[in-house]
Amino acid sequence: SDPGLVDRARAAKAALGDQVFVLGHHYQRDEVIEFADVTGDSFKLAKDAAARPDAPYIVFCGVHFMAESADILTAENQTVILPDLAAGCSMADMAAIRQVEDCWDDLVEAGVADVTVPVTYMNSSAAIKAFTGRHGGTICTSSNAKTALTWALDQVGAGGKVLFLPDQHLGRNTFVRDLGGSLDGCVVFDPHKPMGGLTKQELQDATMILWRGHCSVHGRFSLAAVEQARREIPDVKVIVHPECQHEVVEAADEVGSTEKIIQTIAAAPDGTKWVVGTELNLVRRLGTLFPRQQISFLEKNVCYCSTMNRIDLPHLVWTLESLVAGRVVNAIKVDDEVAHFARLALDQMLALPG
């Protein structure tokens, strides 16, 4: 990266001192991670965001839904800043609040809303999190989806259902792989079709009603790539993120959040051969962090998460230098009422055991 910009970022951060707290998701570029006070997966960053109540400015190097959650979970007098407002998430965009409310009406019509609890992936807008809070549900991330789903199914009891938003793959993978549920117990609700493209009977028979959303990056990893890696690299270990398709997750040796991927590889003996199915910035960094292991990327034609990558050093420098000059740019402020109900669902997640 540009040495002039590195110096400017250092100088601005030093000038701000304790006034600013910089969080960095594991998918961020190296040039940005260098300036993060803490790094983590979505769950760790949601907790860490509240760790410095004395810092008036929290610069969130990640995507929009993470910055919204940080705003909801931090004190009133703290301002959360997203260095580029265009850093969204294509998965979060696959569930609009109107569509989710229409879906709930369909569940009412099918007579199943009373026995359904929403479990919503962190990768969703604050409005969808508020919907979840209003209906007694919980947020989850990829690191606590198993606990969240167990809690939700326990709430509804026998014959109860979970409406899992918006990542069908995380919902299916958690239900089948982690909880031993059956694929037959899952249906996919397509928001673009009347009644989700399902019959009342199908909704009544299902345990998992999976929203038809997916990650445009992880959705591209294929079973064929796992099989090819196993053919080409003897004794290879395949580790993937649970946003991958079910058949990919089933064929992998290890599955986990970004934090778990890092910890699993950190704990492995020297010489372990890994093929990793997650975002490319993280896979490249793993290669640098663990040079005694052999780390490669699962699929050549999968690229960076383009929205995570929008946060780059020029945007970070602009954000920090603006604060030095007394100007707050790109503040993320969730509407008070939305924040209130979204917080119920986020607090429920934070109260889950483990």
Annotated binding residues, written as ranges, equal 25, 42, 89, 121-123, 142, 215, 241-243, 258, 305
Which does residue 49 touch among ligand 13P, ligand SF4, none (CB within 5 to 8 A, set by kind)?
A: none
**What residues pair up with 186 in beta bridges, in sequence order?**
208
Which of residues 13 and 214 has its CB atom nearest to ligand 13P in the complex?
Answer: 214
Please, are residues 352 and 147 in contact by the beta-carbon 8 Å criterion?
Answer: yes
Residue 160 beta carbon to ligand 13P: minimum distance, rounded to whole angstroms: 26
Which of residues 202 and 299 has its CB atom nearest to ligand 13P in the complex?
Answer: 299
Amino acid letter, residue 144? N
Q: How many residues can be counted in the chain?
A: 354
Asked if 281 interacts with ligand 13P (CB under 6 A), we say no
Amino acid letter, residue 104? W
Query: Cα(58)–Cα(60) distance, rounded to whole angstroms?
Result: 6
Give the residue ranges of DSSP H helices in the chain: 3-16, 30-33, 42-48, 64-73, 97-109, 126-134, 145-156, 168-173, 200-205, 223-232, 246-251, 258-266, 280-289, 313-324, 336-350
Which of residues 122 and 176 has its CB atom nearest to ligand SF4 in the complex?
Answer: 122
Residues numbered 289-348 forming contacts with ligand 13P, rule: CB under 6 A: none
Query: Cα(336)–Cα(345) distance, rounded to whole angstroms?
Result: 15
Binding site for ligand SF4 (CB under 6 A): 63, 89-91, 123, 215-218, 243, 279, 305, 307-308
141, 144, 174, 309: residue in contact with ligand 13P (rule CB under 6 A)? 141
Which does residue 209 touch among ligand SF4, ligand 13P, none (CB within 5 to 8 A, set by kind)?
A: none
Asked if 41 interacts with ligand 13P (CB under 6 A), we say yes
237 CB-near residues (< 8 Å, 6+ apart): 253, 254, 268, 272, 273, 274, 275
- What is the H or E stretch that residue 49 is in? none
- Residue at token pair 């918006």: 166
Residue 281 beta carbon to ligand SF4: minimum distance, rounded to whole angstroms: 10
Which of residues 127 and 139 has its CB atom nearest to ligand 13P in the complex?
Answer: 139
Which region among 141-149, 268-276, 324-332, 337-345 touches ligand 13P (by CB under 6 A)?
Answer: 141-149
Which region among 11-19, 41-49, 149-157, 340-348 touches ligand 13P (by CB under 6 A)?
Answer: 41-49
Contact residues: ligand 13P, CB under 6 A: 26, 41-43, 89, 123, 141-143, 241, 243, 257-258
